[in-house]
């Protein structure tokens, strides 16, 4: 009976893992190995360490994310993706440098993290769009969409207000393309192009919310590091 109970519990835990991940406050950073989403992992880890007030490790993860995003940018074939990464990187660099003298306020920097995550999702959707109609590229298209959905889910965890509503719509559109097996190439192209436009429009809204930093914890930060 005991093994059966353990098996039942394990299956139940597996089935609700996705829901839990969307709401829990993780105590350990996630770890994945796919090169294409390494910047995403570092960004999310940086945010988790910031929440735990481990500012040094948060800065280290952020620095790694920035470096990996620069490397990824240089490998991109699409100008629009390169331009979007170029727009996101300066705010990340500014936030990283701010750690040298002050602690970013958690609420104020959420937009910075979310914007960077959405840029990474954009790159995955852009690659999926390039695969539409290409022979033997269906699996690659699906993999890119799954990565885009994973990244968007991470952004949803950090987002608030109307931006979160838009991200839910974007996620739902990705899911529709991924799960529908008989969509025409034209419909897939139209839907994926619409997703790219939605992400772009959402990115623009961040330009009207300038990033600020709080000095409230500066003394505490200095005491932790001296």
Give DSSP secondary structure letters for 44-57.
HHHHHHHHTT-HHH
- Whole-angstrom distance, CA of residue 78 vs CA of residue 83: 9
Kindly state whether residue 16 falls inside one of the protein's structural domains.
Answer: no
What's the predicted TM-score (pTM) here?
0.75
* E strand segments, the chain: none
CA quadruple 130, 133, 136, 140: dihedral, nearest 10 = 40
The answer to whether position 25 is within a domain reads no
In a domain, 67, yes or no: yes
* Phi, psi values for residue 23, rounded to 5°: -125, -20
Q: Return the ∠ at Cα 82 (arms to 80 and 154), rounded to 5°.
A: 95
Query: Domain residues for 193?
Result: 30-209
Domain assignment of residue 197, yes or no: yes
List CB contacts of 81: < 8 A, sequence separation 6 or more.
73, 122, 123, 126
214 occurs within a structural domain = no
| 74 neighbors 39 (Cβ within 8 angstroms) | no
Burial 208-223 (b: 16+ CB within 10 A, else e): eeebebeeebeeebee
**Does 13 map to a domain?**
no
pLDDT score of 153: 92
Number of domains the chain contains = 1
pLDDT at residue 106, as a whole number:
58
Smallest CA-to-CA distance from 116 within 143, 151, 150 is with 151
pLDDT tens string for the chain (226 positions)?
A: 445 444 444 444 444 444 434 333 443 444 333 567 889 999 999 988 888 888 889 999 999 999 999 988 888 878 888 899 999 999 899 888 877 656 666 556 788 899 999 999 999 999 999 999 888 888 889 999 999 999 999 999 888 778 888 899 999 999 999 998 788 999 999 999 999 999 998 877 665 454 443 323 434 334 344 4
In a domain, 201, yes or no: yes
Quote the pLDDT of residue 94: 86
109-113, Cβ contacts within 8 angstroms, sequence gap of 24 or more: 109/50, 109/211, 109/213, 110/47, 110/158, 110/159, 110/160, 111/206, 111/209, 111/211, 112/211, 113/43, 113/44, 113/46, 113/47, 113/158
Is 49 among the domain residues?
yes
Can you give the pLDDT at residue 5?
47
């Amino acid at each position: 009976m005991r093994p059966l109970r353990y098996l039942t519990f394990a299956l139940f835990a597996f089935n609700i893992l996705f829901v839990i991940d969307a709401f829990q406050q993780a105590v350990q950073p996630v770890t994945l190995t796919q090169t294409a989403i390494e910047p995403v992992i570092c960004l999310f880890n940086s945010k988790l360490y910031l929440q735990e007030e481990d500012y040094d490790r948060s800065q280290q993860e952020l620095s790694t994310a920035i470096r990996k995003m620069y490397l990824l940018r240089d490998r991109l074939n699409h100008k629009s993706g390169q331009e979007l990464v170029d727009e996101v990187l300066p705010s990340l660099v500014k936030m990283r440098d701010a750690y040298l003298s002050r602690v970013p306020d958690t609420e104020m920097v959420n937009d910075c993290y979310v914007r960077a995550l959405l840029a990474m999702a954009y790159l995955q959707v852009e690659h999926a769009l390039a695969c539409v109609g290409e022979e033997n590229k269906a699996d690659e298209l699906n993999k890119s969409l799954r990565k885009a959905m994973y990244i968007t889910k991470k952004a949803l965890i950090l987002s608030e207000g109307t931006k979160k509503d838009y991200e839910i719509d974007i996620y739902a559109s990705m899911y529709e393309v991924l799960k529908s097996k008989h969509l025409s190439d034209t419909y897939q192209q139209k839907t994926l192009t619409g997703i790219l436009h939605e992400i772009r429009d959402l990115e623009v809204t961040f330009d009207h919310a300038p990033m600020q930093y709080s000095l409230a914890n500066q003394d505490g930060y200095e005491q932790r590091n001296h």
